[in-house]
Amino acid sequence: MTRKVGRDGFSLTSLSAALLTASHAWAADASVQRESPDQRAEAVVKAMTLDEKIALVHTPFGYPLGDTPKPEGAIGSAAYAPGVPRLGIPALQESDASLGVTNPYDVRPGDNATALPSSMMLAATFSPALARKGGEMVGTEAHAKGFNVMLAGGVNLTREPRNGRNFEYLGEDPLLAGTLAGNSIAGIQSKHVVSTTKHFALNAQETGRVMVSSSIDEAAARESDLLAFQLAIEKGQPGSVMTGYNRYNGDYASENRFLIKHVLKGDWKYKGWVMSDWGATHSLEKAARAGLDQQSGENLDPEVFFGEPLKKAVQEGRVPEARLDDMVTRILRSLFAVGAVDHPAKTADIDYAAHAEVARAVAEQGIVLLKNSNNQLPLSAKAKRIVVIGSHADVGVLSGGGSSQVTPLGSVKVPSPYPDNSFIANIVYHPSAPLKAIQAEAPNAQVVYDSGEDFQQAAQLAQGADAVIVFAQQWTAESVDVKDLSLPDNQDALIQAVAKANPNTTVVLQTGGPVKMPWLDNVPAVVEAWYSGSKGGEAIASVLFGRVNPSGRLPITFPQDESQLPRPTMRDPATTTSNPGEERKGLFSENYNIEGADVGYKWYEREGKKPLFPFGYGLSYTQFSYSNLTAHVRGSKLVLGMDVTNKGSLTGIDTPQFYVSNTDAQDGFTSRLVGWDRVELKPGKTRHVSVTVDPRLVARYDDKANAWRIAGGYYKVSAGANAVERPLKAQVQLTEKYLAP
Ligand code: BGC
């Protein structure tokens, strides 16, 4: 064994000896803190007993489940593992998720939290800075509630617009999703709380999520979903990665040697720990060998594989002790790296008012104005009579269901279409009523509300009003996909009836992802407000009345209808299960090679399909124009630039976008987003924006060489407002190059 010497001259061996005798006060010892997280983890592992190690690598639910009570020491959350108090290692208190600190089944009675808007809405801001701020907010609340691991960081690409969890993810583009996920992870971890990224990988649908195998060729996966993870991990350095429920090319994600050992820990040199999803561990030796480090939500698995069975396997040499040490080292290293040991999570006051402002900022900038004929919006504050219809706009804004469900104080629950499924039995409205916020924007108006249940009655009320705002909703949730892209519950008919009664009708959509709009030609204005979180109502009203100039851009393509999708029909959910533990009912696979790496807008371009609204699209109350596209190779970097001008009469924020394609080459590719900027411009002003392109975005993955390869030749550069409107064109020559995987 080599003896490494720390910077202060302590040898690690003497450090471990000190650990054995000293109490956990060692953690606060400044000389120990100067050791690297790797050194500290290694030293602690040396001092741990076999039982202590085993106790860290499997977690039960942190709340009562069936006959199993809440584990002793758990605060009450998704999962818990006892720490090693004698060595100063805190218990793992793990909570969901990206949108805020959850409180499943009210296990911590009355404990509320700030709800960020959906991740899809965050993606619509195209703002790494807001992602970081949101992460800091969630990390602060988690820490102050006693949590040191957040199961945040969902980054699966939207391959299936009907996926019930799209709201937890960041859209269809790997650069956008990876960049934003990385920033929110970094934000959480800056508060001494480990963040996760999940669900690794290709966990693209909820229908049969525990049965499905995602079939896709390596190169296509590397250029799409895996790239999103790779970018998120590089940027955010998450302490843990959670595998998906699904199988990937035949093997469950939690025991997938290719995904974990080869790609994540091999090619990407990932140093954190890999946890399974809840009840998604299927084996002991296969999983341990593939690189799984922690069995999570073990109550749902047929066995606590990583408990007594793992101990026995280590004692019998079937799993090398070094592998167990590696599991534990990875967990401890991540705790040290984010400061979870030196700055342990503990109860503290939370400034909910300040945190709600973070949620508001994301919501205000993530709202996407989809249509605005004849300047229907902004609405005049002088309107005399305003009619608000539908979606419980009198009580709050919609949120998505499942494990990520956050419940701010004053949330209102209504029964969901799944009343017998306690996990998603309720639809939760966050307490930021649009009705109240609209009244506040137009204090002298008579603002009236109708539920929209009887659309003749709603249409009658709408007649003659100065403005009518119909709130339409699509509730989505973990474990269930939506059956199609129609607004449910006859809302299309409601909108048609109201629009016929009053031409000044604005539709505000609250959806997890795209929906069809058969009424689009009949309404002058449409606003996509997603699931808008703790201050959603206020944010929506600010945009409707123009106090905020809308600046959100679609992070996903809105199709005309399902026939445009790579898989027009979905498997009947009745023939599948999404429940862990029931997966043996019938395995099946889903062919993601149809679109391959061409997810979302790339598919539409490749197939020559015209979507309803393209990726990157969104209007403003002002207008922007683009000029002077430049494309240079500087050193080995491709640098692109353009000028953006605000040619309207209001200050506004634009998101100019750069794309590169290489359709002439044999191994070419359709347009890919390679960079963007967000600029706020006063009327008449011009700003030059430029981006340096990540070379992997102009490469193809060569799976024979196990490397990225940039083909030599000419590439098309284009720039503009979205994936379809790119008025600026240029060419640039690149030389052949191989890059590390
Ligand atoms: C979800 C995970 C979540 C876990 C713990 C699972 O159902 O897929 O995203 O973190 O539960 O609540």
Give the mean pLDDT of 238-247: 98
Residue 248 lies in a domain: yes
Q: How far apart (Å, rounded) are the C-alpha atoms in residues 473 and 185?
A: 29
Q: Say yes or no: 84 and 27 in one domain.
A: no
Residue 13 has pLDDT above 90, yes or no: no
Kind of pairing between the strands at 707-710 and 467-474: unpaired
96: Cβ below 6 Å to ligand 1? yes
Give the mean pLDDT of 260-276: 98
Q: How much distance in Å is there from the Cα of 200 to the middle of ligand 1? A: 12
Residue 430 has pLDDT above 80, yes or no: yes
Q: How much distance in Å is there from the Cα of 346 to the middle of ligand 1? A: 23
Q: Say yes or no: 439 and 586 in one domain.
A: no
* Ligand 1 atom 8, closest CA: 277
716 - beta bridge partners? 661, 731
What pLDDT does 29 receive?
65
- Higher confidence at residue 469 or residue 12? 469
Q: What is the sign of the dihedral through the CA atoms of 96, 99, 104 and 109? A: positive
Q: Say yes or no: 463 and 538 in one domain.
A: yes
Give the mean pLDDT of 1-26: 35
Q: Say yes or no: 588 and 511 in one domain.
A: no
Per the structure, how many domains does the chain have? 5
Ligand 1: atom nearest CA of 97 is 10
Residue 178 has pLDDT above 50, yes or no: yes
State residue 710 phi and psi, 5-degree precision. -90, 120
Q: Say yes or no: 170 and 216 in one domain.
A: yes
Ligand 1 pocket test, pick from 94, 165, 278, 478 with the greatest ligand atom count within 8 Å of Cβ, gives 278
Q: Say yes or no: 493 and 372 in one domain.
A: yes
User: What three-state secondary structure class fits 301?
Assistant: coil
Residue 5 has pLDDT above 60, yes or no: no
Can you give the CATH number for the domain in which 400 is found? 3.40.50.1700
Give the mean pLDDT of 354-383: 98
Give the mean pLDDT of 36-62: 98
Ligand 1: atom nearest CA of 297 is 5
Q: How much distance in Å is there from the Cα of 174 to the middle of ligand 1? A: 22
Q: How much distance in Å is there from the Cα of 77 to the middle of ligand 1? A: 11
Can you give the CATH number for the domain in which 637 is found? 2.60.40.10
pLDDT bracket for residue 32 (50, 70, 90) = confident
Residue 672 lies in a domain: yes
Residue 301 has pLDDT above 70, yes or no: yes
Residue that the structure tokens 């634009």 belong to = 654
694: Cβ below 6 Å to ligand 1? no
Residue 343 lies in a domain: no
Residue 17 has pLDDT above 50, yes or no: no
Q: How far apart (Å, rounded) are the C-alpha atoms in residues 243 and 632?
A: 40
403: Cβ below 6 Å to ligand 1? yes
What pLDDT does 24 receive?
47
Ligand 1 pocket test, pick from 274, 277, 301, 579 with the greatest ligand atom count within 8 Å of Cβ, gives 277
Ligand 1: atom nearest CA of 151 is 10
Q: How much distance in Å is there from the Cα of 112 to the middle of ligand 1? A: 19
Residue 43 lies in a domain: no
Cα dihedral value 658, 659, 664, 665, nearest 10? 110
In which domain, by residue range, is 699 found? 624-739
Q: Say yes or no: 17 and 96 in one domain.
A: no
Answer with the one of 318, 338, 358 that is the final residue of a domain.
Answer: 338
Residue that the structure tokens 């480990």 belong to = 194
Ligand 1: atom nearest CA of 104 is 12
* Ligand 1 atom 5, closest CA: 78
CB 112 within 8 A of CB 100: no
Residue 3 has pLDDT above 90, yes or no: no
CB 413 within 8 A of CB 427: yes
Cis peptide, bond prior to residue 60, ω within 30 of zero: no
Q: How far apart (Å, rounded) are the C-alpha atoms in residues 497 and 519?
A: 10
Q: Say yes or no: 149 and 216 in one domain.
A: yes
* Ligand 1 atom 4, closest CA: 278
Give the mean pLDDT of 156-168: 98
Phi-psi region of 530 (alpha: psi -120 to 50; beta: other; left: phi over 0): left
Q: Say yes or no: 412 and 331 in one domain.
A: no
Q: How far apart (Å, rounded) are the C-alpha atoms in residues 375 and 390?
A: 23
Q: Say yes or no: 220 and 115 in one domain.
A: yes
Beta carbons within 10 angstroms of residue 168's beta carbon: 30
CB 182 within 8 A of CB 225: no
Can you give the CATH number for the domain in which 270 is found? 3.20.20.300
Q: Pull the structure tokens for residue 481.
A: 């996909």
311: Cβ below 6 Å to ligand 1? no
Residue 454 has pLDDT above 80, yes or no: yes
Q: How much distance in Å is there from the Cα of 277 to the middle of ligand 1? A: 6
Beta carbons within 10 angstroms of residue 159's beta carbon: 26
Candidate from 32-46, 51-65, 149-163, 689-703 with smallest mean pLDDT: 32-46
What pLDDT does 34 receive?
80
Residue 214 lies in a domain: yes
Answer with the one of 513, 544, 575 that is the final residue of a domain.
Answer: 544
Q: Say yes or no: 395 and 253 in one domain.
A: no
198: Cβ below 6 Å to ligand 1? yes
* Ligand 1 atom 3, closest CA: 403
Ligand 1: atom nearest CA of 94 is 5
* Ligand 1 atom 6, closest CA: 278
The string of pLDDT tens digits covering residues 594-651 is 999 999 999 999 999 999 999 999 999 999 999 999 999 998 899 999 999 999 999 9
Residue 19 has pLDDT above 50, yes or no: no
User: What three-state secondary structure class fits 293?
Assistant: coil
Ligand 1: atom nearest CA of 244 is 8
Ligand 1: atom nearest CA of 245 is 8
Q: How much distance in Å is there from the Cα of 315 to the middle of ligand 1? A: 32
Residue 298 lies in a domain: yes
Give the mean pLDDT of 185-208: 98
Residue 530 has pLDDT above 70, yes or no: yes
Residue 319 lies in a domain: yes
Q: Is 67 exposed, middle or buried (0-12, 13-18, 19+ CB in 10 A)?
A: exposed
pLDDT bracket for residue 6 (50, 70, 90) = very low
pLDDT bracket for residue 27 (50, 70, 90) = low
Ligand 1 pocket test, pick from 199, 200, 210, 478 with the greatest ligand atom count within 8 Å of Cβ, gives 478
What pLDDT does 33 receive?
75
The string of pLDDT tens digits covering residues 113-129 is 999 999 999 999 999 99
Residue 612 lies in a domain: no
78: Cβ below 6 Å to ligand 1? yes
Q: How much distance in Å is there from the Cα of 280 to the middle of ligand 1? A: 10
277: Cβ below 6 Å to ligand 1? yes
Tell me the average pLDDT of the chain: 95
pLDDT bracket for residue 15 (50, 70, 90) = very low
Q: How much distance in Å is there from the Cα of 199 to the middle of ligand 1? A: 9
Kind of pairing between the strands at 149-150 and 79-81: unpaired
Give the mean pLDDT of 715-739: 98
What pLDDT does 1 receive?
26
151: Cβ below 6 Å to ligand 1? yes
What pLDDT does 18 receive?
40
Q: How far apart (Å, rounded) are the C-alpha atoms in residues 708 and 444?
A: 61
What pLDDT does 673 receive?
99
708: Cβ below 6 Å to ligand 1? no
Helix (H) or strand (E) holding 429: strand 426-430
CB 167 within 8 A of CB 512: yes
User: What three-state secondary structure class fits 24?
Assistant: helix
What pLDDT does 693 receive?
98
Q: Say yes or no: 536 and 390 in one domain.
A: yes
Give the mean pLDDT of 688-716: 97
